[in-house]
């Protein structure tokens, strides 16, 4: 008979200081080293993912004027990023209520993801309101003056994602490239944190359901349902969390050759309720398929595994200032998707860097180094030139969740309904 236990039993064990919590990284490394991890050896596994997640938006409600100063807003711009006014008109209250898409943008260098990071970094935000009467109200705000600020998702934390290549001769702009995607199989980009990913650890959603407590960008939030385009083979999640508790390094803008996107991060606890859950949490990168798609048609042209892209790869990008050749126009500064490099100061902002590796191929002097790997596909050797997921930060977030659980600062929840 399969061994089983409940969330209540695990919680009781944690409260007595006897519970064992492992990060997905720790568990998988133990399995990889040949250690036999049994049902009695671990009670909770913390999983996480960090990467580009387009299906993200914010809902904000805050005061911009005194009562009866205007009837209601018709258009709103936050740091130049267009926001959707409503749905509640808040007539004559001087309050606006807006929804901001992460993929909305002011220009090709600043979008909703950048705005969200500025907010959680407590930067001052410029607010422009156009009213139904034809008035224009200009003011500023900061996050602590926005009582309601929730980050939400329509589609986040996919059960991993895909790799992309451009089989055609001509280059193409794409959300899966930083500079234009080179053709004829010259480069490969991919997304997904492989064996750390929450839905790869629990693909049948035996522990993850509606009401599951999570960390989104370091803030406590909840799963509220399945995301758009979710399926049994490729599940993803909808979630919500309060922006006031978020940590800036896990959230931000990510510029692509097709416009600004957003980096978002999730950490999800997986209580080991039965032996089947334990076995799925123990799956390694080599057991996880990664389809390679044609960036034009989004149809498969091959298949690899996450072992092919993460096994020998470095998690961090390194910068050697002595190798900088002071290019007249620094391509890294121009094209770094998170603006993490300051060419004048010759410094990398570690809080902004997402270890995507784009700089390695952009830098003419070879000042940036990171083994991104080479994938063999159909007899071709194709270099990885872009990672749209940050496994280093995902591992760090899973460790944060582990510590919060052990310290009693994060309580496991029983889903109110399965997905």
pLDDT of residue 2: 78
Look at residue 52 and give its three-state secondary structure.
strand
For residue 281, being part of any structural domain is answered with no
Three-state SS letters, 77-144: EECCEEEEECCCCCCCCCEEEEEEECCCEEECCEEHHHHHHHHHCCCCEEEEEEECCCCEEEEEECHH
For residue 299, being part of any structural domain is answered with no
> Is the Cβ–Cβ distance between 23 and 398 less than 8 Å?
yes
The string of pLDDT tens digits covering residues 293-324 is 999 999 999 999 999 999 988 999 999 999 99
pLDDT of residue 312: 85
Q: Domain span at residue 132?
A: 55-152
Look at residue 331 and give its three-state secondary structure.
helix
Pick from 415, 401, 24: nearest CA to 215: 401
Look at residue 350 and give its three-state secondary structure.
coil
Look at residue 397 and give its three-state secondary structure.
helix
For residue 167, being part of any structural domain is answered with no
Cα separation, 159 vs 234, in Å, equals: 6
With residues binned 3-state (H G I as helix, E B as strand, rest as coil), the percentages for the chain, rounded to 5, are: 20, 35, 45
Read off the CATH number of the domain in which 78 is found.
2.60.40
133: exposed, middle or buried (C-beta count within 10 Å: 0-12, 13-18, 19+)? exposed
For residue 67, being part of any structural domain is answered with yes
pLDDT of residue 160: 79
> Is the Cβ–Cβ distance between 415 and 14 less than 8 Å?
no
Strand extents, DSSP E, 243-308: 252-256, 259-271, 289-294, 300-305
pLDDT of residue 176: 95
Please enumerate in sequence order all residues whose Cβ is within 8 A of that of 388, keeping only pairs 6 or more positions apart, or say none: 51, 52, 176, 189, 190, 191, 254, 356
Q: What is the domain count for the chain?
A: 1
For residue 313, being part of any structural domain is answered with no
For residue 224, being part of any structural domain is answered with no
pLDDT of residue 418: 95
For residue 21, being part of any structural domain is answered with no
Whole-model pTM: value is 0.96
Regions in the chain scoring below 50 on pLDDT? none
For residue 148, being part of any structural domain is answered with yes
């Amino acid at each position: 008979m399969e061994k089983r236990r409940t969330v209540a039993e695990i919680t009781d064990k944690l409260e007595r200081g006897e519970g064992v919590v492992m990060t997905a990284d720790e568990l998988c490394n133990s399995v990889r080293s040949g250690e036999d991890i049994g049902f009695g050896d671990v009670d909770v596994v913390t999983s996480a993912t960090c990467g580009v997640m387009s299906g993200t938006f914010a809902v904000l409600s805050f005061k911009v004027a005194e009562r009866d100063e205007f009837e209601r807003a018709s258009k709103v711009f936050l740091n130049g990023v267009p926001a959707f006014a409503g749905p509640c008109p808040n007539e004559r209250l001087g309050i606006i209520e807006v929804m901001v898409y992460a993929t909305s943008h002011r220009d090709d260098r600043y979008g909703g993801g950048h705005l969200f990071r500025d907010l959680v970094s407590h930067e001052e935000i410029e607010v422009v309101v156009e009213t139904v009467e034809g008035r224009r109200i200009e003011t500023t705000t900061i996050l602590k003056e926005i009582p309601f600020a929730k980050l939400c998702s329509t589609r986040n934390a996919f059960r991993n994602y895909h790799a992309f290549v451009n089989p055609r001769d001509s280059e193409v702009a794409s959300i899966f490239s930083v500079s234009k995607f080179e053709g004829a199989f010259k480069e490969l980009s991919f997304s997904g944190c492989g064996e750390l990913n929450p839905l790869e650890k629990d693909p049948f959603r035996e522990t993850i359901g509606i009401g599951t407590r999570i960390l989104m960008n370091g803030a406590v939030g909840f799963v509220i349902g399945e995301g758009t385009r979710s399926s049994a083979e490729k599940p993803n999640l909808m979630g919500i969390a309060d922006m006031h508790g978020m940590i800036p390094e896990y959230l931000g803008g990510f510029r692509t050759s097709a416009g600004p996107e957003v980096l978002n991060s999730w950490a999800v606890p997986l209580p080991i309720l039965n032996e089947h859950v334990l076995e799925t949490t123990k799956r390694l990168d080599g057991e996880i398929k990664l389809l390679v798609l044609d960036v034009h048609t989004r149809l498969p042209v091959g298949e690899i595994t996450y072992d092919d892209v993460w096994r020998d790869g470095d998690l961090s990008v390194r910068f050697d200032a002595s190798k900088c050749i002071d290019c007249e126009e620094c391509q890294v500064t121009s094209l770094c998707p998170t603006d993490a490099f300051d060419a004048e100061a010759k410094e990398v902002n570690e809080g902004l860097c997402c270890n995507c590796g784009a700089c390695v191929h952009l830098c003419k002097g070879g000042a940036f180094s990171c083994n991104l790997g080479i994938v063999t596909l159909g007899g071709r050797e194709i270099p990885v030139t872009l990672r749209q997921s940050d496994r280093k930060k995902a591992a760090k977030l899973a460790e944060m969740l582990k510590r919060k659980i052990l310290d009693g600062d994060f309580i496991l929840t029983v889903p109110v309904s399965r997905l």
